[in-house]
Amino acid sequence: MKDQWVGDIGDFGKYGLLRALCGGQEQQRLRLAVVWYLTESDLGFVPELGRNSGPFSYLHRCRLNDEKFRKCDPELYDELHRIVYEGPRTVAGIRDSLVLPAGTAFYDGRIDQLDRPEFLAAAKTAILDAEAAIDLVYLDPDNGIHEQGATETAFAVSCDDLRYFWQLGKSLVIYHHFSRNCSEPDQMENAVHVVTDALGLTDGIRPLILRWCSVISRSYIIVPTDQHRDILLDRARQHAGSEWRRHFSASPKRMRRRALDPNPAEDRTDESDKLTLDQVIETLDLHGRRATYGAVGEYLGGLTGWDVGRLMSRRPRSYRNSWVVNKRTGHPRVYLRNEIDPRLWTSPPAITTGADLAAWFIR
């Protein structure tokens, strides 16, 4: 974690997830501790703010951002907007804000200035000395989780670190950054295997991994204790299906099934991995890609383009639903121009076959 990235799109997703896992006013509250693996910011880095500011552009106030981001959690969005534009844009600014629930414990020691045992001991003290007993610990390194046997660095959580915090008897949430070494689903599955092996987890405790899909992909691995398993998995599932659904996904699906089912059937077919119509629409919207009514029908199976067009006509005419289009015109039937996502007009040509749509989902 670096101060230079405080308030970026990743922070919005990260803190939105943590707020959901901790629970709202009407739910059982889980007490949170945040362990920032804080390192020095890059020399001379000054973020560009505004409409075209990359990971900070989501905070540019406009109708599209209000609909796509602020609607997910207005209080969080407004608080991060204040921190980014008024300061202090540091982890201390997050600590002293309304971003996370009252009573959250924080450890912000610089891991690049401490030896590992000293850092871990200080973080443990911050967790155990919190005013109220901590239930959930969030680990926030720059790069995520080291594989077993990899050389320790200040930018990643090692397997020894995972075991150290797990032995405190707290549920864990761990940030994991994607590399370019292999596909994201493969990296997600590998990260879950590393965590499972490092902690010696049994079938009764399975990590769940959520993927953040907006602007820069990243993932969050949730490792619940027996005490919190049902609560955390239920809240993660609700979060991924709420206003946040266009930004989060629990995938690959085979991993989600295993996390939610202690005894998953091994003979399920690949057909069960096929997306639903809602998930198709969500994914097209997320990546700004058109698909024709016919392509969606072929992908879902047993539906003609006319069938899909009829199904879509029953849905609200919204930006989200406007990515399923007529093959001839390239835009959805019966929509007014101001009801169509503005990105559609400059997006690539529509996907026109079910096979091509299936291949695109895999990519």
**All structural domains of the chain with their residue ranges:** 3-260, 274-362
Long-range pairs for 42-47: beta carbons < 8 A, 24 or more residues apart: 42/2, 42/4, 45/4, 47/4, 47/8
Q: Which tokens sit at 222? A: 């949730």
Strand pairing of 144-145 and 156-157?
parallel
**pTM, to two decimals:** 0.70
Whether 214 and 54 have beta carbons less than 8 Å apart is answered as no
For 187-227, the pLDDT digits (tens) are: 888 888 899 999 998 766 678 888 888 777 889 999 999 88
For 116-175, the pLDDT digits (tens) are: 999 999 999 999 998 789 999 999 998 889 876 667 788 899 999 999 999 999 999 999
Question: What span, in angstroms and rounded, lies between the C-alpha atoms of 290 and 327?
Answer: 10
Model pLDDT, residue 272:
44
Question: What span, in angstroms and rounded, lies between the C-alpha atoms of 293 and 267?
Answer: 32
pLDDT band at residue 48 using 50, 70 and 90 as cut-offs? low
